[in-house]
Structure 1
């Protein structure tokens, strides 16, 4: 560690020896021909307090397969897998999006596996934070300060769908643990994907310098509005080469809204398979563009099937906003959330059509009740549907021998109230529980009967 630090010191001194004589005894000008020099400082003074540093600690658990030849000498009782636990520490950045509730958004990979999460504000105050929920595929996580903090600054969100290549950008974060750092650039490209084919990607590309530790930090426009969450860089040695990627603010907002309401992301499902439009495919279809998402299959009984989409359609817009690639369509649909009503612009046989679609929901996506209250552990919850006849929170399953089962909570129960407050959905249920400590009195609709279940 001494040699790099020494090299850095020498570089600093060398720069100082070059720069100092140029301005010795003279002040830098603040005006030219009576006009003030342009500066980002006023905007940054407003916005910077909304960007925080995040420090995490945890334990990584890894399994290593023991060779059969080694086990031969020690007998079959020797374990086939060797489990190793290694403590780790990490640094990242985050952005305050709700000052009243203490909500902070960051990247999922920043807090993944963390046992403790500490947040430091720009004024030096430190707080413990808890994970509200996250989504690994889109690399977004929502934190909440465990202690009520006063004087927080939240950032205003911009409409990232209005971004254009060439718009100015400013990246704020905590690179290499140095402390808050600001860099600037432009939007280099939009709708980038392909960094990890298993994930949901629709990145903003920027040449604003982004390095390790900037993950989870803010990418803002010149108005100080959040346009993205800095996420990844493309570089041979893990350093900045002018190609950085950020999750668009609209995509982040859709995800965090779902996390706040359900405690997790409710993945939207359109029910189509397809790919990108190549020049050969466009020529075969008589389509005069390479933009759009080509549909080669519509799944039976899916949201797309019910709306009337067909194989061979080219989806070119969602709610009037252009879609350039199938990867962009996949990312936007998945992060919009189940039950969301959207309008798709489609090219079919050269004609433009519009279809109203209500996105479906994966049957496996349900909220785990222990995320809301320990006494509900073992129950899975979801919002009720119109066919249930009641508004509330439906118990979709209860594990045998779980705390929820011990309180005689049953599958099919619909929670319509808690502690004398009516709840119509999971979002309202969560808000009530956040303000309650201790005993819960659940008003439950069970078939035609109304009962009260006390949970401690």
Structure 2
């Protein structure tokens, strides 16, 4: 079973022919009362959902084996391939022309075209984009736009009705309905920061960036991925909560990029086994394994062994959910965390640090990286730079070099030292380190 984004689908020669043997007038009311319908709500909401088409060129780099370089071959080959794609978006500010969509919809695009439900098309400007959460913000210059009203995804409940609106398979705007099947889904390896809304409203290729709304027509999520064997809808789709997306949009508008907040902890999901071993009367939450010194968490008095159960008054079900919510809040944000320590509830106020401020010895992260000094960097959209390296150390024997930038572990992007430690701790068997070296991507493997 695979989980994947649903974008960049080419549709050719689709023809629908439905035989009609008879027609009959359908009742519009029963005993003088109108039939239940989503039509009145959708008539107000659907003009805010747009189709997005993109075109661009993707650069593919391939390293040349060392043996061929003796004959004058370059270090790598570079090929450029044109691409086109389709997706969806949502107008969130009619006056300023702001449109929210997924990062993967517009990534590497040289041309972005937004088409409204009334048929008008406009070239779009990219204001900013965040790969870690898969959120992007566009701007169009147009009059008479309709914006959607933002809801509150923190107030959603399993079983609430939900309606998905988008552009599946490039057929044009389509509406499907269902319910919220689960909340705070994480550890799916779709994005770096995962706190998904799960829904059975039918979502298919081309719906990326479209709207998930409640019955009041308020935006509660941005549709982004599906779970299925062949990329088709099987009743399990995922959307980015609108509150998370709104945090990212605010940073993109203010800075043009995301300045992630950092707690400075590592941890894991609290489950029945951990709770039993530590005699904790709780089944869900974010268990704190380690608190790094001189970080926001340390300054707030958070300790190893604490269980974080609330963030700003909302329940925390897992460490992945906590990580995603903290990672979408800006550096300097003030957050109230509810803790359980020695069976007693405690609330602490944390001012989030910045990923740019973190440095550490590899001894604090993983023994396989001993001999390396590590520092976060904003280069390559975030990563961990090797600032110093001892000759003959485990890190050097692994093949690392000074000034390498670790940007991922097992295809999971990272931006902070705590994320690097979490990913290494959660990995078993062979681990793939994704590096940038002298502008080229390489992989190193360690056990």
Per-residue Cα deviation, 1:341-392 (whole angstroms, up to 9, x for no partner): 1110000000000001111112279xxxxxxxxxxxxxx9xxxxxxxxxxxx
**1:285 positional shift:** 2.3
**1:26 positional shift:** 2.1
Q: How does 1:139-218 map to 2 (within 5 A)?
A: 139-145=134-140, 147=141, 149-196=142-189, 199-218=192-211
**1:205 positional shift:** 0.4
User: How many residue pairs end up in the alignment?
Assistant: 349
Specify the alignment match of 1:308 in structure 2: 301
**Aligned to 1:26, which of 13, 24, 27?**
24
Q: Give the SS at the match of 2:235.
A: coil
Q: Give the SS at the match of 1:297.
A: strand
Q: Give the SS at the match of 2:124.
A: strand
Structure 2 residue 236 is the aligned partner of structure 1 residue 238: no
Structure 2 residue 103 is the aligned partner of structure 1 residue 108: yes
Q: Is the 8 A contact 2:267 2:290 kept in 1?
A: yes
Q: Is the 8 A contact 1:66 1:82 kept in 2?
A: yes
Q: Which moved more, 1:224-233 or 1:58-67?
A: 58-67
**1:197 positional shift:** 6.9
Distance 2:42 2:130 in 1: 29
**1:278 positional shift:** 2.1
Specify the alignment match of 2:369 in structure 1: none
Per-residue Cα deviation, 1:72-121 (whole angstroms, up to 9, x for no partner): 7xx53122321110000111100011111111100000011011111111
**1:274 positional shift:** 0.5
Q: Give the SS at the match of 1:42.
A: helix
Q: How does 1:335-354 map to 2 (within 5 A)?
A: 335-354=328-347
TM-score (norm 2): 0.75
Specify the alignment match of 2:89 in structure 1: 94
Per-residue Cα deviation, 1:116-135 (whole angstroms, up to 9, x for no partner): 11111111111111111111
Distance 2:303 2:202 in 1: 44
Structure 2 residue 251 is the aligned partner of structure 1 residue 253: no
**1:64 positional shift:** 2.1
Specify the alignment match of 1:269 in structure 2: 262
**1:168 positional shift:** 0.5
Per-residue Cα deviation, 1:291-319 (whole angstroms, up to 9, x for no partner): 10000111101111101110000000011
Q: Give the SS at the match of 1:179.
A: coil
Q: Is the 8 A contact 1:53 1:120 kept in 2?
A: yes
Distance 2:273 2:314 in 1: 25
Specify the alignment match of 1:132 in structure 2: 127
| Unpaired runs of at least 5, structure 2 | 1-10, 359-377, 379-447
| Unpaired runs of at least 5, structure 1 | 366-379, 381-456
Q: Give the SS at the match of 2:207.
A: coil
